[in-house]
Every structure is written in C-alpha cells, then in structure tokens.
C-alpha cells in the first residue's frame, strides 16, 4: 500500500495516474469553528437552503463543539 500525502498537487499521484486531470474548483467553501458551549446552553442553527451544516459533539473540554459549514 502506498499513501501519497504530499499535498494538493501530489507528484506521486501524477506519476501513478498520468491521465488524472487533477484537482478542480467546484465552487464550495468550507468553514470550521470550535465553540465554547457551556452545559445547558441552547444551540440555534441558521443556514441557507442547500448548505450543509455538520455538528460534531466532542468529549467535554473547554471547546466542546465543532461546527463545519459547507456552502
């Protein structure tokens, strides 16, 4: 098994898959945030139709919510 972790414009991927067109812009943007969420607080979600909002609950710590918004 080979893991090519040399970035967006991978030289190893280009060598192994010469016909691959490579990355292209799809018009999406990704926003990440870690937010403090004290116990008992209320979370309100607001986003536009067609956006994808992902909430990942992490174990209790100072920053215990991770939000990802893909537009």
Q: Domain ranges in the chain?
A: 26-70
4 pLDDT exceeds 90? no
Task: Give the phi and the psi of residue 12 in degrees, each rounded to 5.
Answer: -65, -45
The mean pLDDT of 40-66, rounded to a whole number, is: 63
19 pLDDT exceeds 90? yes
The mean pLDDT of 2-31, rounded to a whole number, is: 84
Give the pLDDT band of residue 69 (cuts 50, 70, 90).
low
Distance CA 65, CA 71 (A): 19
């Amino acid at each position: 098994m080979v893991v090519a972790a040399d970035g967006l414009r991978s030289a190893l991927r280009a060598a192994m898959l010469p016909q691959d067109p490579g990355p292209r812009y799809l018009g999406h943007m990704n926003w990440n945030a870690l937010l403090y969420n004290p116990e008992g607080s209320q979370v309100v979600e607001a986003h536009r139709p067609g956006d994808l909002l992902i909430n990942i609950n992490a174990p209790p710590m100072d920053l215990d919510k991770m939000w990802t918004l893909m537009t």
